[in-house]
Amino acid sequence: MTTVYKRKGESFNHVVAAGGDAVASNDVVIDGAFAGVAVTNIAPGESGTVAIDGVFQLPARTGVAFVRGEPLAWDESTGRVIKSSAAVAGDIDGFGKAMDAKASAATTVDVLLTPATQTLHA
């Protein structure tokens, strides 16, 4: 068998089921154990690109500070970035790393996505 280069691993194609909820551009999308950010709006029954590489400003849990490089998880129930140490079942652990420190009152954080380390927290 020969090895065949397919493409860069910067994104994946996500299909929204017919009758499912539409995905807005810049929404975090969970697809299996992958999490990324929608590049465009994706209507039910359609497919669209989800970025899994890059730095994105995302909503973050308030009341907790992050240091630069802090491992982060995606809290699926609140739709916010949290510390990986706070992840519970259903969250995406290893979601990314904080690009900059975040004060506890801040509502967003710049996140470097880390798709190779993402796992669905059981």
Are 16 and 9 a contacting pair, CB within 8 Å?
no
Q: What distance separates the 2 farthest-apart alpha carbons in the chain? A: 54
pLDDT for 41-73, tens place per residue? 999 999 999 999 999 999 999 999 999 999 999
User: What residue ranges do the domains of the chain occupy?
Assistant: 11-51, 55-120
Separation CA 74–CA 52 (nearest Å): 13
**Percent of the chain residues topping a pLDDT of 70:** 100
Residue with structure tokens 């909503």? 59
Helix (H, G, I), strand (E, B) or coil at 107: coil
Are 69 and 55 a contacting pair, CB within 8 Å?
no
Q: What pTM does this model have?
A: 0.88
pLDDT for 25-46, tens place per residue? 999 999 987 899 999 999 999 9
Separation CA 108–CA 89 (nearest Å): 23
